[in-house]
Structure 1
Amino acid sequence: MSSSTSASVPRERRRIPARGGKRGRVMELTGFEPERTLPGLLLDRAHREPDTVALRYSCGGTVRAITWRRYLDRVRELAFGLVARGVRHGDRVAVMSGARPEWVFAALAVQSVGGVVIGVYPTNSPAEIEQVLVHSEAVAFVGETETELAKVAKIAGNTPDLRLVAGIDAAPPELPAGITGVSWDDLRSAGEPDSLAELIAATALDDPAVLFYTSGSTGVPKGVTHSHRTLQHAIQSVIGLYPESRTTRHDVVGFLPLAHVAPAVLLVFTPLRTRLVVTFCRIEDYSEVLRAVRPTVVLWPPRFYEKLAAELIALAGSWTGIRRLAYRAAMRIGRRMAERRWSGRRAPVPLRIAYAAAVRGVFVPLRASLGMDRLRVAWTASAAMPESVVALWQIWGLDLRENYGLTETGGCPIGQFGQPFPRPGRIGREFADPRYQVKLADDREMLIRAPLLFSGYWRNPGETEAVFADGWFRTGDLMERTADGNIRLIGRKKDVIITRGGKTVDPQPIEIRLKESSLIEEAIVVGDGRKYLTVLIEPSAAADAGLDGRVRAELERVNADLARAEQLKDFRVLPRPLEASRGERTANGKVKRAAVAGSFAGLIDEMYGVDDDAAIADHVRRPR
């Protein structure tokens, strides 16, 4: 899609001053308490500004707009269609689709009925879909294409509560007796529209609104229950990251799976209370749509920043002559500016002038090649980000900030709120509202109290009780406070490796250092119960012949900064990429360590030889 065929994006926005200036904005963010359910917010917005653009979507090379009036009309049709098909207050409805307006309409329609939305990843296998549908006791399923609908048809007979399957782009295939299949248009026209306000009024703020199923990186997926109340506190924390979103239009491109909590909160629910306009597109089209929309806001996991940074580095490397010299000079200036920022020292006037020229003349045009020239601030969460990646984007003039959130928190109880160009490696501080509290447990685990915390794990009181201690949520993350009061993560409680010598090692910082190399896509440190640490390496697309020697050099680079017990003694290059279909990655890309260790047990044993567990087992089997 080219920008010439897309709906135009205004270059200037009218700014509405917040009451009381900066201090007033901060005060407005604290003490918030929701008064309406999420569909209630939609009703209010559609009545207040019916002809304002609510969201957009990319279709056939153009970007098309949907107003709040049309948004509400679609939700009304679907809500009464669901009622006509037997969906009732409290019922669970699963939605399996890419990021598109229909996902949003379905979610708000289900919630208007008083139901609970369940996001299902389009990449999920039939067995994974069955697990979610059975555990949640879902009564209805909405699928996008023939692929999703075929998956659910395969396992529908094993889901005793399923009564309805609706297809967005295709009609459902033949289904078992007792389960009705309908098209999207049939579902929209099935009901007799009545007062949506009356239907919505039957739902309370503390009723369940969404079930987000955990990725399963540390065990069986659990249904994390968020209510209308907790989700609105999650929205409030997002607003805290960028208060201007309440008064000024901002554009974001939505392509990440809405079954994941962060995209759902940002792209589906946050626009109800802000002037954030989402342009939805297929994930395979996101690079083209980025160039067309030129977003002003992004919230991505680290891998997207890494991928796009690699593209820009390659582009700058192709420049010749004056452009090459200008880029090199700009990078020298940018590094000096970044060092001043991170040290808290004000840059001298000549450096500020030179850096402004470097950003305007070199870095913004470079970022414009990806449609990222209008960005002034961006965020990352969901996984550890190599400090070098954050540093590079900040040098390029993008105020990239790290934030912290989990499925159980919905939004960001901790973030780099209002602090421009923060030092990489920290996740910030607690949200300004005094109800947001963080404390350190005796074992360095981070504990959180906040109004955005989930209601509990769906029908699993034992697991719910296990993650709370006197009202404090056990995050499973280990943390420390820096001298200036910021929070730095130092690992995951369940990811630590305990060597045979009793040394406890957090593998994540080592893996992050390794992944700074352009040769390495993924690194999995192993060594639990062994004499020393080793690592499995998934090479990147940039790797070529002679890989072993170059990876050995990367290990030596990382080992130079590690204590003896933390050093990596050997490595093996994986013969294939890690795959979600084999259970080695979760649906959102996280590595499942136990599954990887099982898949590549032979490679791991090679790195320890007969001098480890295998030798002991062999001695027991063969008496001397």
Structure 2
Amino acid sequence: MNMHNTHAAASSSTTRKEVPVLDTLTQFEAVNRTFAQMLCDRAEREPDVIAYCSWENGVARPTTWSEYLQQVREAALGLHDLGVAPGDRVAIVSSTRHEWVVAALAILSLGGVPVGVYPTSSVAEVKQALESSEARVVFAENTGAVAKVAAVAGELPRLRAAIGFDTTPHGLAESVCSVHWGELRRRGRSRGATEPERFAALVEAGDIDQPAALFYTSGSTGAPKGVIHTHRTLQYSVLAFAMSYPQVGRVRHDLVAFLGLSHVAPALIGVFTPIMTRLVITYCTMDQRVDALVGVRPTAVLWPPRMHEKLAGEVLQQLSESGTAFRLRYAIAMRIARRVSEMRWGNRDVPWHFNYLYNVCLRRVFIPLRAKVGMDRIRVAWTASGSMSPDVIALWQMWGLDLRELFGTTETCGSVLAQWDRAFPPPGTIGKSMPDPRWEVRVSGDGELQLRSPCLFGGYLNDPAATAAAMDHGWYRTGDLVEMDPAGEVRIIGRIKDVLKTSGGKTVSPQPIELRLKASPLIDDAIVVGEGRKYLTVLVGVSEAARAMPTVDRDAALATWINEVNSELSRPLQLKKFRILPRPLSAADGELTLKGTIRRSAILGSFSDLVAEMYDAGEQGEIARQARFAGGNLK
């Protein structure tokens, strides 16, 4: 597949009318337009077409491109009135909502840089993000977010204004101006009335190679690093997604967005991709997601593994509550689905009679089941940002969902590997390089996955040493250990550095947590567990002093200490459960190196029963059973 841009790029009014949606992928080159400029182009070409929806009072309320642009114009001029200038970084501490996206485009309209901050971040993490990004202005969603900002505002001399979506910020330093979202837009309307050409002039001053987003890494090797992406690299990131599924640029697709837009993948899909494609997003909170999915019935999804796993569990719960006759039909349908899936995975033709039987199963069993969770209209589904169980992929594919894997990092923003070349690909790989020679993949001598592409980041904020360390003569070093087969299919086998990745996509460095736990005289060893799991737990090796204590007192003291450590951690890093190792770790059993360093994989193997106790085996076990009960193991 070659790429091309059929429309010339310039800043004239004629070009504005001609810049298209990404409806062709032939010899694509990034258009010479920023995202704010493309928003203006889209609103001029398709003023009455739906741009996005908001889930409100049980319905998806639509907003057209002209209305979207008006919202952005008002917010941008309001920010301009507060002194936001090109290059300024503006933080957004909020869950997913349409105001997040409007604020981001308003910031971009002024040549500023939006910086997402997770609403679940601790006060210390909020301070780190605002301080390291040198944010001049911060958006805070509600009283909880405002309280976190207020707790650190006095230590942030660069902070000049705070804007609340749901409330007027209060309790801030005297030097920080407090404004409600509605007041910000009123200021913008007033400014626009007196200076009608100001917004267009500000937008047209933008440049495609200006920074357009600052994302933070997980901090797995120390403090989180700010990753800079420009309008150009983000456009290529959108292209990478469209290469995985070209129909998204040609035909309307609906997607429900509830995952945090501070994370790179949800931001790419929820903020930037709709401007260049036919993707229509419905924004909702995490609490609203079930109702929104059923109400919207999306045609595409991109979720971390945990969301696919959780929804599969909900489908199976619905199945268990159905009548005997339907469960019998389901059992028969799964046997047929298993046979069809095995033929698909083996790249074999499916005989017509199996196709006929499977289509009957889809109509009468699987689609009705999927409809209960709003997944009956899905044309393609993607997973990224974490380790995905082959059982989960297999089960969804048997249910008729074309679930595929993508691979990208914060530094690449978009996907650089994907299962793009076939429907219903076999579980177990993260795909192959994109069908464009500008996306390159190689495996280094020590097995590390390394990448080159036009969507590669511009560097880490104020950290040239880390930027240089991440690169190898123009190749980005992912830190992932992989295997690549002769066809280019890549399989991840681990991390060069000891880092965990939960099924929700959270990358975690266990060592700082383990060191903190071992500050207690009760603990000699601590092994944080969570790779591919929905939450973190810990195996504890107790000290001699702890072993001398009565069991009840020891367990209570350990629980109290772990809760104290949890209070210092953000929610995704908190330890949900712990188990005490029945014996000290042993070098003879391969659990320790000769220097006494833990060997995590060996420990997890030695004490797999304790690990299993700490996780809900019901949901994952039922998914595995359903994927396999038709006989045989996954290939």
Category of TM-score, reference length = shorter chain? 0.7 to 0.9
2:155 counterpart (155, 158, 170): 158
Structure 2 residue matching 1:298: 3-state secondary structure: strand
In the TM superposition, what are the counterparts of 1:144-543 in structure 2 within 5 Å?
A: 144-191=141-188, 192-193=191-192, 194-195=196-197, 196-495=199-498
The corresponding residue for 1:621 is none
The corresponding residue for 1:582 is 566
Structure 2 residue matching 1:189: 3-state secondary structure: helix
1:63 counterpart (60, 63, 68): 60
Report the CA distance shift for 1:536/1:485 in structure 2 as closer, same or farther (over 3 A): closer
Give the unaligned 5+ runs of structure 2. Answer: 7-21, 516-524, 540-557, 597-635
Structure 1 residue matching 2:329: 3-state secondary structure: helix
The one-letter amino acid paired with 2:280 is: V
1:579–1:585: 8 Å Cα contact kept in structure 2? no
The corresponding residue for 1:42 is 39
Report the CA distance shift for 1:578/1:268 in structure 2 as closer, same or farther (over 3 A): farther
Cα offset for 1:320? 3.5
Structure 1 residue matching 2:187: 3-state secondary structure: coil
Report the CA distance shift for 1:434/1:46 in structure 2 as closer, same or farther (over 3 A): same
2:108 counterpart (111, 120, 128): 111
CA distance in 1, matches of 2:530, 2:233: 40
Cα offset for 1:261? 0.5
CA distance in 2, matches of 1:533, 1:577: 13
Cα offset for 1:184? 0.8
Of all paired residues, the percent bearing the same amino acid is 44
Report the CA distance shift for 1:478/1:320 in structure 2 as closer, same or farther (over 3 A): same
1:52 counterpart (39, 49, 52): 49
Structure 1 residue matching 2:154: 3-state secondary structure: helix
The one-letter amino acid paired with 1:275 is: R
2:97 is equivalent to residue 100 of structure 1: yes
1:140–1:164: 8 Å Cα contact kept in structure 2? yes
1:81–1:187: 8 Å Cα contact kept in structure 2? yes
The one-letter amino acid paired with 2:142 is: T
1:242–1:418: 8 Å Cα contact kept in structure 2? no
CA distance in 2, matches of 1:86, 1:57: 29
Structure 2 residue matching 1:608: 3-state secondary structure: coil
2:123 is equivalent to residue 126 of structure 1: yes
The corresponding residue for 2:585 is 608
Report the CA distance shift for 1:221/1:161 in structure 2 as closer, same or farther (over 3 A): same
Cα offset for 1:28? 2.2
1:413–1:436: 8 Å Cα contact kept in structure 2? yes
1:29–1:433: 8 Å Cα contact kept in structure 2? no
2:122–2:570: 8 Å Cα contact kept in structure 1? no
Cα offset for 1:154? 1.0
1:333–1:351: 8 Å Cα contact kept in structure 2? yes
2:122–2:569: 8 Å Cα contact kept in structure 1? no
The one-letter amino acid paired with 1:108 is: L
Structure 2 residue matching 1:158: 3-state secondary structure: coil
Report the CA distance shift for 1:540/1:173 in structure 2 as closer, same or farther (over 3 A): same
CA distance in 1, matches of 2:296, 2:565: 33
2:54–2:283: 8 Å Cα contact kept in structure 1? yes
Structure 2 residue matching 1:409: 3-state secondary structure: coil
The one-letter amino acid paired with 2:30 is: E
The corresponding residue for 2:614 is none
Instruction: Report how many residues are paired.
Output: 535
What TM-score do you get using the length of structure 1 for normalisation? 0.79
The one-letter amino acid paired with 1:608 is: L
The corresponding residue for 1:504 is none
Alignment RMSD (CA, Å): 3.6
2:80 is equivalent to residue 83 of structure 1: yes
CA distance in 2, matches of 1:294, 1:475: 35
CA distance in 2, matches of 1:183, 1:527: 42
Structure 2 residue matching 1:230: 3-state secondary structure: helix
The corresponding residue for 2:623 is none
Cα offset for 1:596? 6.7
CA distance in 2, matches of 1:489, 1:143: 38
Structure 1 residue matching 2:317: 3-state secondary structure: helix
Cα offset for 1:176? 1.1
Report the CA distance shift for 1:377/1:603 in structure 2 as closer, same or farther (over 3 A): same
Cα offset for 1:540? 9.5
The one-letter amino acid paired with 1:315 is: Q
1:534–1:607: 8 Å Cα contact kept in structure 2? no
The one-letter amino acid paired with 2:68 is: Y
1:30–1:432: 8 Å Cα contact kept in structure 2? no
Cα offset for 1:486? 1.0
Report the CA distance shift for 1:576/1:296 in structure 2 as closer, same or farther (over 3 A): farther
What TM-score do you get using the length of structure 2 for normalisation? 0.78
Structure 2 residue matching 1:45: 3-state secondary structure: helix
Structure 2 residue matching 1:161: 3-state secondary structure: coil
2:89–2:115: 8 Å Cα contact kept in structure 1? yes
Report the CA distance shift for 1:365/1:585 in structure 2 as closer, same or farther (over 3 A): farther
Report the CA distance shift for 1:613/1:374 in structure 2 as closer, same or farther (over 3 A): closer
Report the CA distance shift for 1:35/1:344 in structure 2 as closer, same or farther (over 3 A): same
The one-letter amino acid paired with 2:253 is: H
CA distance in 2, matches of 1:533, 1:423: 37
The one-letter amino acid paired with 2:426 is: R
Report the CA distance shift for 1:583/1:228 in structure 2 as closer, same or farther (over 3 A): farther
Cα offset for 1:62? 2.3
2:59–2:295: 8 Å Cα contact kept in structure 1? no
The one-letter amino acid paired with 1:320 is: G
Off by >3 Å, runs of 4+ in structure 1: 524-528, 532-541, 574-581, 583-587, 602-607, 609-617
1:401–1:416: 8 Å Cα contact kept in structure 2? yes
Report the CA distance shift for 1:200/1:333 in structure 2 as closer, same or farther (over 3 A): same
Report the CA distance shift for 1:539/1:163 in structure 2 as closer, same or farther (over 3 A): closer
1:578–1:585: 8 Å Cα contact kept in structure 2? no
Give CA deviations for 1:407-427 in whole Å, capped at 9, x if unaligned.
111110111114100010111
